[in-house]
Structure 1
Amino acid sequence: MARTERIRKTDLGLRVWGVLVFAFLFLPIAVIVAYSFNTGRVLASWQGFGFRSYVAAINNDVIVSSVITSLQAALGTALLATVLGTLGGIALARARAGLWWAAALTGLLAVTMITPKIVDGIAFLPWFVTLGVDAGLGPFNNGMVRLIVSHTMFSVAVVTFIVRARMAGADRRLEEAAADLGATRWQAFRSVTLPVASPGILAGSLMAFTLSLDNTILSSFVQQPGYTPWPVYIFSSVRVALRPEVAAMSTVMLVLTLLALAVVGLVLRRSGESSTAIVKTIVR
């Protein structure tokens, strides 16, 4: 009885601790969402409930421009990371055990994911200057290109591991059957491999989109005038005073991010993949 009572108290204590941890993490976000309906001119000074801040945010050209820049960069990142990550994920899933290039690629992608973003930002800035100014490659002088390339560097690893997790359990005999029926490699890839990998591809593209929206450190290093993404705009705004319209647009972006993550979870659930399987394939 005493042992059972101790187990019950321990279980209750862990649950309470879990609730406190989640409250510590998410209460600040809830406060921002609540204060986005503040009708005052300063976020910290509550004047009343209303949608004035949302109207002001929509009518603010600088805010709208920064949001559009973030969405464009996120879309470009999702497209580029999906193409590269899909090819990498399928290649790793089909590689035989012990191949040096598969181990090297997996290690390189893993290092990419754990490298501090400030290190990546410091590395990308002079590299873009070298390519765009010294080497005369015009596209690298474009702020949007810089954002997409830098964001893709991290996102492509995520997409690769998600697609690899999806394809690791796929039956290769389907592709062999397509070849026996006379299909070329491209026809087998288009008709068999892509449909099988499509849940992982979609989930990876949505994750790349979400990660790009939230990328602040890299964006602050590589962004140029006229291409300031939303996270960088917020970072510069809080130095003066956080206004309700910033909280309002942040709430809109939060909802957009949650919707994207919800779609990712739904796709992975329907495809039979779990987050545990994806994590396992990273260290495989």
Structure 2
Amino acid sequence: MEQIIKAMDMVASTKLIRARESLDGIRPIYLNLKRIVTELGKQMENAEHKFFKERTDTKNTLYVVLTSDRGLSGSYNSNILSKALKHMNKGKNEKLIVVGTKGIDFFKREGKDIIRSVYDISDDNVFYGTENMAQNIHDVFLSDEVDIEEVYLVYTHFENVLTLEPKIEKLLPVEMDESDENYITDIKFEPGTDNFIDHVVPLYLHMSLFRAFSEAHTSEQAARMVSMDAAGKNANDLVEDLNRVYNRKRQAEITQELSEIVGSAESMKKGGTDDY
């Protein structure tokens, strides 16, 4: 068992290195797209666009929740699922797109309306899979039949190996970041702003999902590595405890045998004296 744990720890460590490299590559692209989309939203003529218009009476919400397909990752899944469920319980009608068998099983037990389940995605298919999912979200949000008024993305943000933060971000309508006052709000677009929005927002959704997948995958491998490391230490402690118990038992048996031998020798000595 100890060897299996060490092997799983090494696999998680290798996957973590690759996942961090991928994450470091996608973060700058996402941040620049986020800035462009925010600059679009700050222009007065776009304030009433469905992608940017905030509503105060939202009743129908779509959640995209990213979890893992496998366990042995400590509290990784439970943290993100509990945070998502707490955010959902606000009297709204929720529809869910759930990634990962852990999340699918959890929300089925909770009786949530899962409109799409995604699981067992290979690393090679993540880019195209998130592109397809982004298009699906785009179409559902603009559709009058479904009437989705806001979209939230639930994932685990990777800060470092020991700091994994469950996060909920609003994808649509696009949230305006008021903390940065250096946004350019007087940009001119040709042939027009609406045409540019129709092209850049789907790309922004795609990169948001792709980046969140990368964050979640990196966090999962970090959580699994830490979990396996802790399991390895616990296994070593357990082996040491069992060795101590075995040694004490063995020592007690040897002491008992010596006592019996000494007692038998004394009995034989006394018996021999009496016979003489």
- TM-score, normalised relative to structure 1: 0.25
TM-score, normalised with respect to structure 2 = 0.25
Give the number of the structure whose residues are more often strand, by fraction.
Answer: 2
Which has the larger helix fraction?
1
